[in-house]
């Protein structure tokens, strides 16, 4: 049994002014009931356009809150990285600000950690999502498990409790393209899933639309697999073989039957098919090159404009957790 830990909560927040005034007190009330050495709540304001920051300033007085103000909207993955880079606790709890992750599960997660698990990840029921989204997500997880050796558990999201050593391992990953679900899986450690039923968002709307989810999906695939690159090799080899066989057949036919003019339809069809396939794979190459370019530029994953807590209000211009 592990002893009472100091817990750091990490909450990414983008336009959550509607939720935070209820969420922070509810979370604090829950944490007060637990056997903890203490806790801190780190909220990362990810360039919100509403008055999330003002709400947070007003909460700082009454709760053990640390507010990290990012200089603009960097996206949830970067906001989570920022939070993880600032935790001081023995364990970190990653939780959304919109009540979709039930705080009632925290005691169970904590118990699993006490029993020796280094990472307890929530498995969402997805009962709040449309069937179409569920079908797409399921297909995506199947594709991911086929294309990469890293086992990314299906429907495991960002609601998780992680030990300090997992936090350190994630902090030390240098990449700028951060697909967090992949990174949690990549670092390994003794992990266990915990089913939870996802709640409806209390206020506001989800920041993720089809386009951002698609981008996240591509980022996951290219970040953890080079299968798309290899497909072009396989497909190229197959087509070359077919073209050779076809050429051989044409030569044979011409020798036996003499030359014949018809066949331009086949030619055009072949050309467009090949042209399409080539463009597709140039696109795939472009995806990887784009990612290499991002890594090479080596810009910080996020910039902290200011940090506030009851004890200290400080400002810093940049955070170069570039390692």
- The pair of three-digit structure tokens given for residue 288, joined into one six-digit string: 């990887």
Site string for ligand UDP, 30-59 (x = CB under 6 A): ----------------x-------------
Instruction: Choose from Mg ion, ligand UDP, none: what does 8 bind? Cβ within 5-8 Å by kind.
Output: none
The CB-of-69 to ligand UDP minimum distance in angstroms stands at 12
Per CB under 6 A, contacts with ligand UDP among 59-118 are: 73, 75-76, 79, 96-98, 100
Instruction: Choose from Mg ion, ligand UDP, none: what does 208 bind? Cβ within 5-8 Å by kind.
Output: ligand UDP
Instruction: Choose from ligand UDP, Mg ion, none: what does 122 bind? Cβ within 5-8 Å by kind.
Output: none
Select the residue interacting with ligand UDP from 171, 199, 207, 309 (CB under 6 A).
207
In the sheet that 191-196 helps form, which strands lie side by side, from edge to edge? Answer: 191-196, 119-124, 156-163, 91-94, 6-13, 38-45, 65-70, 304-309, 313-315
Select the residue interacting with ligand UDP from 7, 16, 94, 319 (CB under 6 A).
16
Q: Which of 136, 116, 111 has the alpha carbon at shortest distance from 126?
A: 136
Cα–Cα distances in Å, from 220 out to 178, 215, 295, 308?
A: 8, 9, 15, 33
Q: Which is nearer to Mg ion, 85 or 98 (CB)?
A: 98
DSSP letters, 250-271, are HHHHHHHH------HHHHHHHH
Select the residue interacting with ligand UDP from 13, 65, 92, 161 (CB under 6 A).
13
Q: Please, where are the H alpha helices in the chain?
A: 20-32, 52-60, 76-86, 106-114, 131-147, 164-171, 180-187, 210-224, 227-257, 264-297
The rounded distance, in Å, linking the Cα atoms of 16 and 230 is 42
Select the residue interacting with Mg ion from 15, 81, 100, 147 (CB under 5 A).
100
Instruction: Choose from ligand UDP, Mg ion, none: what does 13 bind? Cβ within 5-8 Å by kind.
Output: ligand UDP
The CB-of-46 to ligand UDP minimum distance in angstroms stands at 4
Task: Please report where in the chains the tokens 């087509």 appear, as a residue.
Answer: 239
The CB-of-72 to ligand UDP minimum distance in angstroms stands at 10
Can you say whether residue 75 is alpha, beta or left, with left for phi > 0 and alpha for psi between -120 and 50 degrees? left
The rounded distance, in Å, linking the Cα atoms of 98 and 24 is 10
The CB-of-208 to ligand UDP minimum distance in angstroms stands at 5
**Which residues contact Mg ion (rule: CB under 5 A)?**
98, 100, 201
The residues that touch ligand UDP, with contacts defined as CB under 6 A, are: 12-14, 16, 46, 73, 75-76, 79, 96-98, 100, 201, 206-208
């Amino acid at each position: 049994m592990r002893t009472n830990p100091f817990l750091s909560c990490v909450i990414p927040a983008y336009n959550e002014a509607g939720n935070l005034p209820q969420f922070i007190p509810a979370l604090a009330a829950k944490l007060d009931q637990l056997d903890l050495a203490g806790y801190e709540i780190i909220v990362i304001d990810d360039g919100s356009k509403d008055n999330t920051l003002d709400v947070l300033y007003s909460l700082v007085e009454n709760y053990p809150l640390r507010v990290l103000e990012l200089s603009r909207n960097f996206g949830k993955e970067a906001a989570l990285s920022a939070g993880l880079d600032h935790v001081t606790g023995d364990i970190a709890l990653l939780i959304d600000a919109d009540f979709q992750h039930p705080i009632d599960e925290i005691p169970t997660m904590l118990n699993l950690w006490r029993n020796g698990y280094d990472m307890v990840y929530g498995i969402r029921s997805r009962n709040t999502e449309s069937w179409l989204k569920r079908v797409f997500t399921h297909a995506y997880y199947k594709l991911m498990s086929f294309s990469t050796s890293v086992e990314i558990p299906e429907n495991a999201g960002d609601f998780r409790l992680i030990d300090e050593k997992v936090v350190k391992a994630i902090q030390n990953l240098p990449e700028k393209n951060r697909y967090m679900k992949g990174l949690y899986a990549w670092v390994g450690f003794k992990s266990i899933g915990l089913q939870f039923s996802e709640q409806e968002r209390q206020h506001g709307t989800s920041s993720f639309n089809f386009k951002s989810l698609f981008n996240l999906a591509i980022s996951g695939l290219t970040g953890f697999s080079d299968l798309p690159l290899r497909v072009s090799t396989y497909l190229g080899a197959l087509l070359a073989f077919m073209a050779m066989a076809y050429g051989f057949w044409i030569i044979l036919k011409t020798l036996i039957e003499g030359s014949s003019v018809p066949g331009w339809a086949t030619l055009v069809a072949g050309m467009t098919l090949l042209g399409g396939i080539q463009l597709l794979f140039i696109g795939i190459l472009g995806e990887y090159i784009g990612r290499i370019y991002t890594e090479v530029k080596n810009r910080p994953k996020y910039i902290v404009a200011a940090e506030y807590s009851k004890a200290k209000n400080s400002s810093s211009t940049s955070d170069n957790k570039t390692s």
